Amino acid sequence: MSRGGPVRRTRADAGADGGSRVWEARAACRQRDADLWFSRRSWAAAVEICASCPVLDPCRAAVLQREKGLPRCRRQGVIAGLTGPQRHALERSANRQTEQRPAPERRRQAGPPADPAAAREPGGPPRRQPAPCGTRAAYQRHLSRGEPVDEACRAANARGAGRYRRTGSTRDQRDQGDQQSQQSQRGQ
């Protein structure tokens, strides 16, 4: 079922039978109103009709081929007994099954590793040290990890928030002054 203007067909749309769509003549939806398939109120009835259709399998194969690669939002109506989101999920699960799984030794283990150096890939960039307590970054780290926030971090966040309200920047004026002097030295 297509709604709107004519649909351009290409060789990529051809089904397993070489593109023959003879099966459409036997489809249960052939003589039905197109609004039945595209109105959310009538989707249950459309799915029932599709369930009893003698050509459900070739119809489903054709629609999955036609919609291959389309985003979820572009798949509309009930076609081959499936709604747009269901067809999208079916394609995604089929794609996941065909992808190669990572080798068992490279799979991520649950929980933190015993050795922090083992947490990164060999030859990868070294891990950065977490921000020390008493800084705004540490305050944000505590929040994101669900940890209790200490008084030093809370005060640093309050200073940063106040500075942002006053100046529009969270950077300390000393940091900004150092950057400006470095830029002026480069320019000379």
Q: Count CB neighbours of 82 within 10 A.
A: 20
Q: How far is CA 30 from CA 35, 37, 39, 40, 42, in A?
A: 13, 12, 17, 20, 17
The pLDDT assigned to 106 comes to 47
H-only helix segments in the chain: 35-38, 43-51, 56-66, 84-98, 136-145, 151-167, 173-187
Q: What is the pLDDT of residues 51-78, one digit of tens each?
A: 999 999 999 999 889 888 888 888 888 9
User: Is 131 in contact with 137 (CB distance < 8 Å)?
Assistant: yes
Phi, psi of 4 (to 5 degrees): 105, -150
Matching residue, tokens 């008084």: 151
Q: What is the pLDDT of residues 107-143, one digit of tens each?
A: 445 555 555 555 556 666 777 888 888 988 899 989 9
User: Is 87 in contact with 75 (CB distance < 8 Å)?
Assistant: yes
The residues with which 79 forms a beta bridge, in sequence order, are 82
Report domain extents, the chain.
23-97, 130-170
pTM, to two decimals: 0.44
Q: Count CB neighbours of 136 within 10 A.
A: 19
User: Is 102 in contact with 114 (CB distance < 8 Å)?
Assistant: no
The pLDDT assigned to 116 comes to 52
